[in-house]
């Protein structure tokens, strides 16, 4: 678990998917906590990552830049697979606008996301 100010990342490891569930406002310091969670997944050899943003209603521009950095690390640097769930309408629009939804797919539920990553 990574905690930074009012932002929290809880991780769960399934057989082949590293799940990160976020809670709170995602800004630059929250993004650093998110990145630390992913570094844990990388060190354990995971290639498939799920971020559940259902507990994070707001992500500022610096938080978005950290998510972009993480997505590049997963998809481009490590040839991994990334997917999101729990995006609200605003966050989904921003993710689409900045290209995050070209790097990772978005789903409504965590179960749908896990099904996608398991194939």
Task: For residue 59, give its domain range.
Answer: 2-117
Number of separate domains in the chain: 1
pLDDT digits (tens, 9 = 90+) for 60-80: 999 999 999 999 999 999 999
35-56 exposure pattern, b = at least 16 Cβ within 10 A, e = fewer: bebbebbbeeebbbbbbbbeeb
Give me the CATH number covering residue 93: 3.30.750.24
Whole-angstrom distance, CA of residue 90 vs CA of residue 58:
9
User: What do you get for the CA distance between the two ends of the chain, in Å?
Assistant: 27
* pLDDT range class, residue 119, cuts 50, 70, 90: confident
Distance from C-alpha of 109 to C-alpha of 53, rounded to nearest angstrom = 10
pLDDT tens digits, one per residue of 25-50: 999 999 999 999 999 999 999 999 99
Q: Are 22 and 52 in contact (CB under 8 A)?
A: yes
């Amino acid at each position: 678990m990574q905690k930074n100010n009012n932002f929290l990342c809880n991780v769960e490891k399934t057989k082949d998917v590293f799940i990160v569930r976020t809670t709170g406002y995602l800004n630059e310091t929250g993004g650093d906590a998110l990145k630390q969670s992913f570094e844990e997944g990388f060190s354990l050899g995971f290639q498939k990552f799920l971020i559940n943003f259902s507990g994070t209603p707001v992500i500022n521009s610096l938080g978005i830049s950290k998510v972009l950095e993480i997505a590049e690390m997963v998809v481009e640097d490590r040839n991994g697979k990334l997917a999101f769930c729990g995006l609200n309408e605003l966050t989904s629009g921003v993710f689409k606008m900045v290209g995050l939804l070209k790097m990772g797919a978005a789903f409504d539920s965590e179960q749908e996301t896990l099904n996608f990553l398991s194939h």
